[in-house]
A and B are shown apart, each in its own frame.
Chain A
Amino acid sequence: MLADFYNVLAEAPTFAEDYTANRAKYATTPAALRGFEHLQEVFEAGYLNRDFGVALFEDGMRMVATGEGAHYPMLTFGIGTLKQNHPEHLDDVGFFAQPGTDPERNGLTVWMPAALYVPADTPHAEEAVAFLNFVASPEGCRIMMEAVGASGPYLIRGCDLPEDVPQAVRDMMPYFEEDGRTAPALEFLSPVKGPALEQITVEVGSGIRDAASAAALYDQDVEKQARQLGLPNW
């Protein structure tokens, strides 16, 4: 549902601003509602493994690695787990962006690299900024890549991926090479994200609740978050 956001933006380019300003809703924006509908379709089509209700992240990675399962909707950060638990199957697992309804416009929803912060009133601002500069330098980037492995391209100029990246990362690269084939996930464009999204999507994906009522419920859930943040217009 979150990974469908490229397709939401393709159809409703101002959704993020409208959503933050309390003008657009999941339940009433067809492009946004589709993410919930896909979850319902997957359940109704019977594509899920029998014990999906208790399958955890590592089970999902195991199943795509060993061929027990065909698809697992997951970000490429899962590659780290794949590398650790099933190194022999690292190149057996590929990656593609979640398809939308329009075959002409296919693109990837992207989660941004982690950010580092420094408290504004720290007595050691200089040292902290120097460290941040190091982390964001090609050298710091290379050290991190060696330690944890790459799960996608970096935002640091001069920090290129090596030739021997896992297959899933290689599959991901074409999206970044063309303009307009990536979009950030909603959480990088809007501060509004409800705390019960996980439970609501589990309900839809388990056939407990239908997509339309889930979207409406989620719209209600985010109200708390927006009010707690003191956003205008909520």
Chain B
Amino acid sequence: MATRRPSPYPYWFVLPAAVVFVTLFLVPTVASFWFSLTRWDLFEAEFIGLDNYRQFFREPFLVQGLVNTLIYAVVTSGAKSVLGLLLAVLLTSGIWFQGFLRSVVFFPVLVSTIGVGIAFAALMHPTRGAINLALATIGIEGPAWLSDPALALYSVALIDIWKGVGLATLIYIAGLAAISPDYYEAARIDGATRWQQFWRVTVPLVRPATVTVVTLSLIGGLRSFDIIWATTRGGPGFASDVLASVIYKQYQAGFYGLSTAGNVILFLLIAAIVLPMTWWFSKREVDL
């Protein structure tokens, strides 16, 4: 065990940060745990014990929302990592206009999520949307992307991947740049093919970037809300509801205590998934 070293800073030096931390972070966190145990209409809070949690887990749409949240997080996070790495390899291979192409991939990250959602809702319109009109010219009848209950969640995930892959690519480009060219040279001397170089050199050595990308996009996917709300509002019915949209709808209906309980559950869920994952990743890193 490491013993704690005395801080080099006097107390008055850390006081401003401590005030900000306590008032803006610590107090709201504790308050949210308290309000999740009450029936709350923003003015009066009546203590009702764990009733909100009981109610939240009885919520019939919640189970589907939870499953959808996990599907959404895994699909978007997986696709962003794989596509991000492939795009990063492409964009570090010295192709023409490399700098320009890198910014093109990154551009969707900068655009407003709500704007992207509205634009895609129009593009994915089953009879008047550009996607299905384009498919129709080659004789394919496109599906109802956002209004087919079996498809809606994946369509939204697709939009999310398009929008977020630029950030993953950027992280991977930085990761690739950190790999010393010596490894590739040694591999080439040993007669490794491009394919072998990718799997035996690039993939293992870009691991820190993979950890960052997977962790960030998984957390992003688990708490994802804006793009879903802008495209399907969790519908049709509850087909693309995720935890965050279920919670939002409880706020909208004025069930403040109940939705606060939902937020506590979301916080615990993210912690329960991400903490073991980062622990596992860092353990593997030591093994390498």
- Interface stretch, picked from B95-103, B143-151, B275-283, is B143-151
Inter-subunit contact B126/A228 (CB<8 Å) = no
Inter-subunit contact A54/B258 (CB<8 Å) = no
Is A206 at the interface (CB under 8 A from chain B)?
yes
A→B interface (CB under 8 Å):
50-51, 53-54, 195-196, 199-200, 202-203, 206, 208-209, 217, 220, 224-225, 227-228, 230
Give chain B's interface secondary structure class: loop
Is B238 at the interface (CB under 8 A from chain A)?
yes
Apart from the given pairs A202-B237, A224-B55, 7 other A-B contacts in the complex at a CB distance below 8 Å: A51-B144, A53-B144, A199-B235, A200-B237, A202-B235, A208-B239, A224-B255
Inter-subunit contact B250/A54 (CB<8 Å) = no
Q: B147 touches which one: A51, A196, A200, A220 (CB < 8 A)? A: A51
| B residues 104-137 in Cβ contact with A at 8 Å | 121, 125-128
A200–B58 Cα distance when bound, in Å, is: 16
Inter-subunit contact B258/A208 (CB<8 Å) = no
Inter-subunit contact A228/B60 (CB<8 Å) = no
A36–B116 Cα distance when bound, in Å, is: 35
9 closest pairs, A vs B, by CB?
A53-B147, A195-B253, A203-B237, A51-B127, A51-B126, A54-B147, A208-B237, A202-B237, A199-B237
| Distance from A119 Cβ to chain B, minimum over Cβ atoms (Å) | 13
| B residues 229-255 in Cβ contact with A at 8 Å | 234-239, 249-250, 252-255
**Which residues of B are found within 8 Å of A51, using beta-carbon distances?**
125-128, 144, 147
Q: With contacts A199-B237, A228-B39 known, is A54 near B253, CB below 8 A?
A: no
| B residues 5-26 in Cβ contact with A at 8 Å | none
Could you list some 17 contacts between A and B, CB below 8 A? A51-B125, A51-B126, A51-B127, A53-B144, A53-B146, A54-B125, A195-B250, A195-B253, A195-B255, A203-B237, A203-B238, A206-B147, A206-B149, A208-B239, A224-B258, A228-B255, A230-B39
Is B41 at the interface (CB under 8 A from chain A)?
yes
Inter-subunit contact B237/A228 (CB<8 Å) = no
Inter-subunit contact B236/A202 (CB<8 Å) = yes
| Distance from A157 Cβ to chain B, minimum over Cβ atoms (Å) | 35
A225–B60 Cα distance when bound, in Å, is: 15
Inter-subunit contact B41/A228 (CB<8 Å) = yes
**Which residues of B are found within 8 Å of A217, using beta-carbon distances?**
60
**Which residues of A are found within 8 Å of B147, using beta-carbon distances?**
51, 53-54, 206
**Which residues of A are found within 8 Å of B254, using beta-carbon distances?**
228
In the complex formed, the residue of A with least CB distance to B233 is A199
Interface size on B, residues (CB 8 A): 29
Inter-subunit contact A208/B39 (CB<8 Å) = no
| Distance from A28 Cβ to chain B, minimum over Cβ atoms (Å) | 18
**Which residues of B are found within 8 Å of A206, using beta-carbon distances?**
147, 149, 236-237
**Which residues of B are found within 8 Å of A230, using beta-carbon distances?**
39
Inter-subunit contact A225/B236 (CB<8 Å) = no
Is B61 at the interface (CB under 8 A from chain A)?
yes
Inter-subunit contact A225/B148 (CB<8 Å) = no
**Which residues of B are found within 8 Å of A220, using beta-carbon distances?**
58, 60
**Which residues of A are found within 8 Å of B148, using beta-carbon distances?**
53
**Best-buried of A54, A208, A224 by chain B (most CB within 10 Å):** A54
| Distance from A213 Cβ to chain B, minimum over Cβ atoms (Å) | 10
**Which residues of B are found within 8 Å of A227, using beta-carbon distances?**
39
Inter-subunit contact B39/A225 (CB<8 Å) = no
A195–B55 Cα distance when bound, in Å, is: 14
Inter-subunit contact A199/B238 (CB<8 Å) = yes
Inter-subunit contact A54/B146 (CB<8 Å) = yes
**Which residues of B are found within 8 Å of A225, using beta-carbon distances?**
253
**Which residues of A are found within 8 Å of B253, using beta-carbon distances?**
195, 224-225
In the complex formed, the residue of A with least CB distance to B56 is A224
A7–B149 Cα distance when bound, in Å, is: 31
A220–B252 Cα distance when bound, in Å, is: 18
**Which residues of B are found within 8 Å of A196, using beta-carbon distances?**
61, 238, 249
